[in-house]
Amino acid sequence: MPTLVETIVSKHKESPVRAGDEIEELPVDRLLINDVAAVQLVERYREIEDLLPAPFDPSSVFVVLDHVVPPCDSVIADNLQRTKQFARTLHLNLFKEGEGIEHVLLPENNLVSPGDILLGTDSHTCTNGALGCFAFGIGITDALFVLFTGTFYNFVVPETVLLTCSGKLQKGVYAKDLILYVLSHLDQQKMLNKVLQFSGPVFASMPLDGMLTVCNMTTEISAKTGIMPYETREDLSAEFAERYTFDVTPLEPVVAVPHSPLNGKPVAELTVEITKAFLGSCTNSRLSDLQVAASILRGKKVKDTVDLYIVPGSRKIYEKIQESGILSTFIQAGAVILPPNCAACFGRHMGVLGPSDVCISSANRNFVGRMGSKDAKVYLGSPATVAASALTGMITDPREVLP
């Protein structure tokens, strides 16, 4: 029996495929392009523009301005104008500055569906696998090929690893803790270029926001992508490269220590003073993430030695926290509210770290220099851990402060 990805690819190729099969041109349903990748993509487009190529399906191509918006210098401002012009000339869907983060926007607006193939010029395109689609990141040359042919050149069907999670997450332990834990327990070399298929009762009862968080971080172990059987059926008798089972009931809050997202450690083992707390990114900036943080921050003040940045993942989420009073909770707690964008997770603007900064972040990467200075230290945790730590000034187990 086929895996989820084999089923999706077979349908697109209109004949049964197995892991290892090579497909000269794989039909693709949707393409995602962000503002950073767009700069060089548009430059390369100039080299084929004379052939007057037409996009395969402009309505299925999404150009999202999210990485460095609003622009922080005039070069970037110019790049954004060129990208807007490119999108408008080719009649592509354009998400303007402030609409939100690409991997928040697509699921939020039902722009991807189970069984789709979605490619994007961003490694975290894998996030969308939570919706049961086959989604993975590509570079700009592959993206140009997809844009003008509707296909991905020379695709090899990847093998799948089945990760079954059983049990129940305890209070104060979230999808982020789960994925940080799982990543710290897998052998990177065995996960290379594999699809990680998440299965089991934990995900059946997990809200979509959490599933998106889990799939978001699969690229950190250099997997091909993550996928879940969202509104689709999976066949557990399929041929999997490996199978692992995790019982999440005893799980405690986890933090990935510098400088790898795979360095997950129980929060209880750490004694770390922080200067910055970052709540945002395509991993954790959705409504439920902000609700959890608000429940911890309500009526309290961020520690005077800490700056807390909160970046809602989209305009819609921003609107919802405004309507529900969460925004006031954040402002009264002393947080800095930033407009929907990737912000300091991308290390280019809005909260970039200096050499002596130590940051607890709800994002996905803590590589050397990722959020700014090469000497800064970034710890990755759940939104609850970020909020709890912002109150105490130390990396803190959220169970100590959760109401």
Partner 1 sequence: MKIEGTALPVGDDIDTDLIIPTFALQKSRDPRTFADYAFCHTIPGFKEIPEKIIVAGHNFGCGSSREEAVFALLYADVKAVLARSFAPIFKRNAFNNALLSIEMDTSRIKKSDPLRIDLDRKTVCDTTTGEDYSFTLTAAEETLIQHGGLLPMLRKRLANP
Judged by the rule CB under 8 A, the positions of this chain that interact with partner 1 are: 22, 36-37, 39-40, 43-44, 47-48, 51, 53, 68, 75-76, 79, 121-123, 125, 136-142, 144-145, 148-149, 153-154, 156, 188-189, 192-193, 219-220, 222, 224, 260, 346-348, 365, 367-370, 374
Residues 6+ apart with CB under 8 A from 323: none
Among candidate residues 277, 21, 237, the one with its CA nearest the CA of residue 12: 21
Of how many residues is the chain composed? 403
Neighbouring C-beta atoms of residue 201, cutoff 10 Å: 13
CB of 49 to partner 1, least distance (A): 10
CB of 369 to partner 1, least distance (A): 5
Q: Tell me whether the omega of the peptide bond preceding residue 259 falls within 30 degrees of 0, making it cis.
A: yes
Closer residue to partner 1 in complex, CB, 117/335: 117
Please tell me the distance from the alpha carbon of residue 74 to that of residue 122, in angstroms, as a whole number.
Answer: 24
Among candidate residues 111, 155, 149, 151, the one with its CA nearest the CA of residue 133: 111
CB of 250 to partner 1, least distance (A): 29
Please tell me the distance from the alpha carbon of residue 326 to that of residue 320, in angstroms, as a whole number.
Answer: 8
Closer residue to partner 1 in complex, CB, 27/347: 347
> 347: left (phi > 0), else alpha (psi -120 to 50), else beta?
left
CB of 218 to partner 1, least distance (A): 12
CB of 326 to partner 1, least distance (A): 29
Closer residue to partner 1 in complex, CB, 261/312: 261
Among candidate residues 126, 128, 127, the one with its CA nearest the CA of residue 138: 126
CB of 34 to partner 1, least distance (A): 10
Please tell me the distance from the alpha carbon of residue 165 to that of residue 223, in angstroms, as a whole number.
Answer: 18
The strand pair at 151-156 and 134-137 is best described as unpaired
Closer residue to partner 1 in complex, CB, 319/375: 375
In three-state secondary structure terms, 55 is coil
Phi, psi of 28 (to 5 degrees): -120, 145
List the structure tokens of 118.
């979605």
Output the CA torsion sign for 342, 347, 348, 353: positive
Does residue 342 contact residue 306 with C-beta atoms inside 8 Å?
no
In three-state secondary structure terms, 356 is coil
Closer residue to partner 1 in complex, CB, 79/184: 79
CB of 292 to partner 1, least distance (A): 27
Neighbouring C-beta atoms of residue 375, cutoff 10 Å: 12
* DSSP string for 89-110: HTT-EEE-TTSB-HHHHHHHTT
CB of 59 to partner 1, least distance (A): 21
List the structure tokens of 339.
């407009």
CB of 212 to partner 1, least distance (A): 18
Closer residue to partner 1 in complex, CB, 16/355: 355
Closer residue to partner 1 in complex, CB, 21/252: 21
Please tell me the distance from the alpha carbon of residue 321 to that of residue 343, in angstroms, as a whole number.
Answer: 19
Closer residue to partner 1 in complex, CB, 31/293: 31
Per-residue CA distances from 306 to 24, 176, 278 (Å): 53, 22, 10
CB of 78 to partner 1, least distance (A): 9
Closer residue to partner 1 in complex, CB, 176/194: 194
List the structure tokens of 162.
């089945």
Closer residue to partner 1 in complex, CB, 195/228: 195
Closer residue to partner 1 in complex, CB, 199/364: 364
CB of 186 to partner 1, least distance (A): 13
